[in-house]
Amino acid sequence: MTRIQFGTLSIPSCPVDLYMEKFFDSEEAPEQEIDVKNYDTLTQTLKELESGELDLLAMPAELLHGKQLQMYNANCEVLGARTPRTPNMILVSENKLQYQPKSAIILSDSKLVRRQLRRARKGLRVLSTKAFIEINEREEKFEDELEKYSWMEKLRLSEEIDGYIIPRVIYSEVDINGRRHSLLPDPHNLGDSHYLAHPYSDLVVIIGRKNFPKSISELFTETEGDTIWKIQDYFLSSMDEKQLQTIGVLVRHRKLSTLMIQAEKHRDLTMEQSFHDLEGEVITNEILVEFKIEKISSDGKRTISLHRVVPYSKHEIAMVATKKDWMKFLERAEMNEIKFIND
């Protein structure tokens, strides 16, 4: 294959065209000549993939959710994925969350993040854009996401709100001068707030025809990205959009040394002992796969969560067992009438 016909499909929170442009300009780019074309719809790209006009497509994984049958019917499949670079959200505010005044108004259009903020700090007024507009009897319409976040910034500057939540990648595209505070998955101290990302956040999948040469597709994918896609797809593909809105998830590769430093800092004896034998010797030098999933009640007071760390060579077997455990957790919650799991 002398020239590769490569397509991209983007959304504001996952600008795949910019990601791939940066990749193609880097030293890691394939040596093959590549023609790049940007697309607007999945239907259009699948037609061109099936006909052979297009060889590969890079797109946000979240756009594929619920549409995999359409992909299979076009004789295509996910060949791999690229590791997310900026999956986290950002609080734009002069104050960190714990220093917000009582009844501070924070805007977020993510149901998951609103629950995470309520869990992290009581006494806040965490509202969606729609709720804020209705409460204040305003008439606002936005042409796109960038315009909406520019409007939020104006509200913050006029002190009508105390802050708002924005995807990290969109923050870079909007003219914002306020302080930013990243909502990260790892608490600074044991017991501090943590924020798992939305399902498929910033995850780019590579799609091609079935039986497309693996030697070529691997030039565009990354091992960690493949792991993230494989596990998230296994856990989340059967969920509907409503269910996805309240799920936080994290999948990543970890070095044992990094995990041990974290375990020591948080005095997590269980984690420390998991990868040492009775003599205190390390039992694996493999890359580890860390997986977390959680569901939070609407008021932020209750959380159901699961956390697993396994050697990379065992992650496919482990994800099957882990999903069974997760389903058992949810079943027990229903038996105990913990109704928020269906909110």
Could you tell me the fold of the domain covering 3-84+203-221? D-Maltodextrin-Binding Protein; domain 2 (3.40.190)
**Which of 259, 299, 330 lies closest to 119 in space, CA to CA?**
299
pLDDT band at 336 (very low <50, low <70, confident <90, very high): confident
In this prediction, residue 340 carries a pLDDT of 65
Beta strand 288-296 pairing with 247-254:
antiparallel
Q: Is it the case that residue 39 has pLDDT exceeding 80? A: yes
Burial class (CB in 10 A: 0-12, 13-18, 19+), 167: buried
In this prediction, residue 255 carries a pLDDT of 87
**Which of 110, 72, 301 lies closest to 196 in space, CA to CA?**
110
Contact 92, 177 (CB under 8 A): no
Question: 89-183 — its CATH code?
Answer: 3.40.190
With b for 16 or more beta-carbon neighbours within 10 A and e for fewer, the 2-27 pattern comes to: eebbbbbbbeebbbbbebbeebeeee
Place of tokens 């994925």: 81
At 119 the three-state DSSP class reads: helix
Element (H, E) at 270: helix 269-274
Q: Is it the case that residue 174 has pLDDT exceeding 90? A: no
At 340 the three-state DSSP class reads: helix
Question: Where in the chain are the domains?
Answer: 3-84+203-221, 89-183, 241-342
Place of tokens 């105990």: 336
DSSP code per residue over 131-179: HHHHHTT-----SSHHHHHHHHHHHHHTTSSSEEEEEHHHHTTS---S-
Note the pTM of the prediction, 2 decimals: 0.91
Fold: same for 3-84+203-221 and 89-183: yes
In this prediction, residue 332 carries a pLDDT of 86
